């Protein structure tokens, strides 16, 4: 089995390929935090690094887990790691980097350089992270819009489009005359068929427009319909599923609105995108707008797969084909539109796009430079941490608790913050899952974390 | 730190916990694990290398810290490994520890250690209360439970928080109406168990038996074709995922959960925790930003394990 099998189950081969070819720039002295971040990135399969070595505050070597960080981490990667060591930021080609990480850096020059307008323009996402005693923070700064298609929501809501069926779906649904079917055949039906016919019943027999119903009202009518249709099937799994997913029969206007706002954002922010992935998603969203305009029903593409549902194999295969067919049609049309506009987007990316239309998320670039974002904060803990990092401990109001927090063993806290930084780095590079927005504060003494938007 | 700590499990969490305790200079660390190292461990179990595949996890991890770790002498850390099933240890063994930190991946040993530590508290009339700090991960999610036997909720008190077993598919679907690759695989495995008069346990099919896996895979292809089910996603990894009920794992989440476990120990040791006020149950979710949430899980007076210690 693959060395990376357990994580491939999180971000797939596509994500892994992006990690393998990425380059991360680490800035800072050798520190526990740096070692922890770096270790996780190497374990995940990354191997190209630039390390801008900052002179450290003389820390006893004994505090580090790895004796010779580059040698020891190389042993954790099947091909070893490639590290370009640098002493300044001068000749770094920022555009070639995937992510920049300042780890326990206390040289303000680096922060100032990365905050300069002319540098900022070319910067990939930048993390600033710092740990002292049992407290620490990390901040993510984005210089351009960031898009995620595969945000992997916990709850996947199936997409059935029963409120606006297309001709093939209507044909499939109308091929069943539920009233003339026996209990045995009814038990084999996929639940969308039951929902579809309940909609027709409510519309035509009861004279009610289902779109005006709340989901609990609809469920009430559905229950009534099922009882009238065949009381013997009430406890069949497919009928139970029909009730459980009854809300899917109703239109979902919030979804449409959300998609519109994502498209709007893609349009207005396109010129800010330099990263290939972000540009491609932006192009896909803009192409989607054209696609939506040309079909009267404003149907956005459906994902390729419908989830499993109680039914016979035969019926499931049939309904699956109907949805797959619709997905293929959308894919083909979108591909044509892309080609008409001379956009070269791989088919695989377009497929991911169609499968994730509802899951697309974006994050706007940071308003201010890193320096300004951080130093303008009114958060007490963050101010103290910045003072410790760049100023002096004398400027902090010390109480007994704070003294203890700063003096206790910080290794687990470095590991914790290191874990968050590395995890966020992986998410950004794979463009999967939703990144932090945008500052994470951690106080291990209270086991407490805070998210700030700076 | 002049402490004797027992680590349960030398896997993803165990390696991280062991490293942290080493860096915290815990004097004596015992580590129990009965597993051996596999290639798919190496994306997170960083105390092992390719050369260690097939060796004992606990012994190899201890060796790394005791011998290969260059600062061993200066740190004064001593690691004692046990390549042994946790549930075979006598209760006397556990009495020597100041803390038990668990990074296990299954329920039975967790219930076992919880029961033993509570028994110790009961036996000694609250004289000895060994805190149990339990970490667990699944993908980008994880949890930490802090259990002070007889004082805070025990592992058994919160057993209801376990996710109910995954959507189970009725057997008739698997046999008569398979619709997905999962259904196909479940059928082939259950048939195989019947034929060979084995227990129907999925986990029992070892990864090493390549021939067996290939045969199962072949049968899955045949059955999928029979029911007209798309086989595009069917391959060895997919099959093994279902066969072995594989849970996704990544080193970043392990690092965070292990760190949170060690910080809990540090907080208790440094008297920075209020057992009545502070939460004893933390969950972390890194899939959307980084979300942590700590709360108090109350003891259950009717708990079968610690209920009689309720005052």
In A, which residues are within 8 Å of B291 by CB distance? Answer: 451
Q: What is the CATH number of the domain that holds B196?
A: 1.10.10.520
Residue B152 in contact with partner chain A when CB distance is under 8 A: no
Decide if B249 contacts B265 (C-beta within 8 A).
Answer: no
Q: How many secondary structure helices (H) and strands (E) does chain B include?
A: 10, 8
Reported as a pLDDT band with limits 50, 70 and 90, residue B195 is low
Decide if A172 contacts A223 (C-beta within 8 A).
Answer: no
Residue A418 in contact with partner chain B when CB distance is under 8 A: yes
Q: Which residues of B are catalytic?
A: 172
Non-local CB neighbours of A101 within 8 Å, separated by 6+ positions: A24, A25, A26, A27, A28, A37, A126, A127, A129, A421, A425
Q: What is the CATH number of the domain that holds B154?
A: 3.40.50.720
Structure tokens, B31: 């580590």
Read off φ and ψ for residue A49, nearest 5 degrees: -140, 150
Say whether both B228 and B278 belong to one domain.
Answer: no
Reported as a pLDDT band with limits 50, 70 and 90, residue B73 is low
Say whether both B39 and B144 belong to one domain.
Answer: yes
This prediction has a pTM of 0.94
Q: By CA distance, what is B236's nearest residue in A?
A: A1
Buried b (16+ CB within 10 A) or exposed e, A345-365: beeeebebbbbbbbbbbbbee
Say whether both B121 and B257 belong to one domain.
Answer: yes
CB contact under 8 A, B70 and A2: no
CA torsion sign, A103 to A107 to A110 to A116?
positive
CB atoms within 10 A of CB B182: 17
Say whether both B263 and B237 belong to one domain.
Answer: no
CB contact under 8 A, B282 and A78: no
| Chain centroid offset of residue A225 CA | 40
Say whether both B155 and B273 belong to one domain.
Answer: yes
> End-to-end alpha-carbon separation of chain A, Å?
43
CA torsion sign, A211 to A213 to A215 to A220?
negative
Q: Rounded mean pLDDT of B154-159?
A: 91
pLDDT of residue B200 exceeding 50, the answer is: no
In B, which residues are within 8 Å of A312 by CB distance? Answer: 177
For chain A, list the domains and their CATH numbers.
Answer: 5-143+366-452 (3.40.50.720), 167-249 (no CATH), 253-362 (no CATH)
CB contact under 8 A, B248 and A419: no
In B, which residues are within 8 Å of A423 by CB distance? Answer: 140, 250, 252-253, 256, 286, 290
pLDDT of A445: 93
CB contact under 8 A, B255 and A154: no
Instruction: Please tell me the distance in Å from B46's CA to the nearest CA on chain A.
Output: 7
In B, which residues are within 8 Å of A316 by CB distance? Answer: 177, 179
Say whether both B232 and B284 belong to one domain.
Answer: no
Say whether both B211 and B106 belong to one domain.
Answer: no
Decide if A232 contacts A209 (C-beta within 8 A).
Answer: no
Decide if A125 contacts A142 (C-beta within 8 A).
Answer: yes
CB contact under 8 A, A9 and B70: no
Range of the domain at B237: 171-243
Q: Supply the DSSP string of A47-89, one letter for each residue.
A: -EEEEEEPPPP---GGG-S-SSHHHHHHTTSTT--EEEEESSS
Q: Supply the DSSP string of A387-399, one letter for each residue.
A: HHHHS-GGGS---
Could you report the per-residue pLDDT of A141-165, keeping only the tens digit for each?
999 999 999 999 988 888 899 988 9
| Chain centroid offset of residue A176 CA | 40
The residue among A231, A225, A218, A240 whose CA lies nearest residue A162 is: A218
- B266 vs A310, A409, A423: nearest CB: A409
Domain endpoint, select from B187, B220, B243: B243
Read off φ and ψ for residue A95, nearest 5 degrees: -65, -20
Say whether both B100 and B238 belong to one domain.
Answer: no
Reported as a pLDDT band with limits 50, 70 and 90, residue B164 is low
Q: Which portions of chain A are predicted below pLDDT 70?
A: 1, 57-62
Domain endpoint, select from B243, B263, B280: B243
pLDDT of residue B205 exceeding 80, the answer is: no
Domain count, chain B: 2
CB atoms within 10 A of CB A48: 17
CB contact under 8 A, A433 and B250: no
Mean pLDDT of chain B: 89
Domain endpoint, select from B196, B221, B243: B243
């Amino acid at each position: 089995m693959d060395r990376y099998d357990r994580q491939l189950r999180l971000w797939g081969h596509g994500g892994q390929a992006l990690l393998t070819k990425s380059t991360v720039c680490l800035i800072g002295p050798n520190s526990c935090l740096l070692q922890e971040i770096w270790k996780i990135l190497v374990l995940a399969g990354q191997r190209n690094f630039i390390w801008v070595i900052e002179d450290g505050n003389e820390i006893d070597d004994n505090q580090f887990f790895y004796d010779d960080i580059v040698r020891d981490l190389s042993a954790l990667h099947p091909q070893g790691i490639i590290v370009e060591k640098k002493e300044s930021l001068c000749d770094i080609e920022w555009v070639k980097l995937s992510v920049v990480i300042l780890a326990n850096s206390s040289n303000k020059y680096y922060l100032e350089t990365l905050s300069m307008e002319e540098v900022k323009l070319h910067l990939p996402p930048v993390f600033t992270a710092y740990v002292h005693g049992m407290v620490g923070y990390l901040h993510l700064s984005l210089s351009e819009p960031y898009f995620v298609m595969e945000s992997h929501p916990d709850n996947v809501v199936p997409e059935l489009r029963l409120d606006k069926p297309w001709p093939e779906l209507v044909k499939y649904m109308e091929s069943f005359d539920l009233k003339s079917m026996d209990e045995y055949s009814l038990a084999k039906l996929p639940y969308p068929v039951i929902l579809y016919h309940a909609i027709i019943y409510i519309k035509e027999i009861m004279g009610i427009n289902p779109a005006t119903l709340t989901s609990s009202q609809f469920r009430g009518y559905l229950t009534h319909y099922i009882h009238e249709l065949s009381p013997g099937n009430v406890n069949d799994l497919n009928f139970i599923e029909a009730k459980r997913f009854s809300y899917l029969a109703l239109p979902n206007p919030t979804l449409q609105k959300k998609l519109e706002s994502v498209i709007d954002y893609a349009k207005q922010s396109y010129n800010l995108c330099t990263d290939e992935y972000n540009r491609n998603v932006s192009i896909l969203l803009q192409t989607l707008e054209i696609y939506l305009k040309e079909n009267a029903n404003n149907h956005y593409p459906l994902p390729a797969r419908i989830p499993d549902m109680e039914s016979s194999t035969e019926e499931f295969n049939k309904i699956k084909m109907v949805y797959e067919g619709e997905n293929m049609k959308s894919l083909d049309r979108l591909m044509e539109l892309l080609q008409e506009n001379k956009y070269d987007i791989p088919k695989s990316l377009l497929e991911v796009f169609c499968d994730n239309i509802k899951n697309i998320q974006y994050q706007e670039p940071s308003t201010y430079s890193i320096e300004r974002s951080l130093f303008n904060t009114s958060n007490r803990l963050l101010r103290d941490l910045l003072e410790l990092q760049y100023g002096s401990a004398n400027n902090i109001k010390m109480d007994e608790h704070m003294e203890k927090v700063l003096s206790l063993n910080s290794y687990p806290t470095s590991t914790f913050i290191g874990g968050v930084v590395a995890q966020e780095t992986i998410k950004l590079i794979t463009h999967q899952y939703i990144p932090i927005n945008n500052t994470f504060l951690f106080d291990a003494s209270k086991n407490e974390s805070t998210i700030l938007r700076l | 730190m002049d402490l004797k700590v027992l680590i349960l499990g030398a896997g993803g969490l165990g390696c991280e916990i062991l490293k942290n305790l080493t860096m915290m200079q815990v004097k004596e660390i015992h580590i129990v694990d009965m597993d051996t190292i596999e290639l798919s461990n190496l994306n997170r179990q960083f105390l092992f290398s390719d050369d260690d595949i097939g060796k004992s996890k606990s012994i190899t991890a201890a060796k790394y810290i005791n011998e290969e770790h260059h600062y061993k002498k200066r740190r004064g850390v001593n690691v004692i490994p046990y390549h042994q099933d946790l549930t075979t240890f006598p209760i006397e063994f556990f009495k020597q520890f100041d803390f038990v930190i668990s990074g296990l991946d299954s329920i039975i040993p967790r219930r076992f250690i919880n029961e033993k530590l509570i028994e110790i508290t009961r036996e000694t009339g609250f004289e000895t209360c060994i805190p149990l700090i339990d970490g667990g991960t699944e993908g980008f999610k994880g949890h930490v439970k802090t259990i002070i036997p007889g004082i805070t909720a025990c592992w058994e008190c919160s057993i209801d928080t376990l996710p109910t077993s995954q959507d189970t598919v009725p057997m008739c679907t698997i046999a008569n109406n398979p619709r997905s690759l999962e259904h196909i695989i479940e059928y082939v495995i259950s048939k195989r168990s019947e034929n060979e008069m084995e227990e129907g346990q999925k986990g029992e099919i070892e990864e090493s038996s390549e021939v067996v896996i290939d045969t199962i895979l072949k049968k899955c292809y045949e059955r999928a074709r029979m029911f007209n089910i798309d086989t595009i996603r069917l391959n060895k990894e997919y099959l093994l995922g279902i066969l072995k009920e594989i849970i996704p794992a990544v080193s970043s989440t392990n690092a965070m959960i292990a760190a949170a476990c060690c910080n809990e120990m540090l907080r208790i040791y440094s008297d920075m925790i209020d057992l009545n006020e502070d939460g004893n149950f933390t969950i972390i979710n890194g899939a959307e930003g980084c979300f942590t949430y700590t709360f108090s899980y109350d003891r259950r007076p009717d708990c079968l394990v610690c209920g009689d210690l309720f005052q």
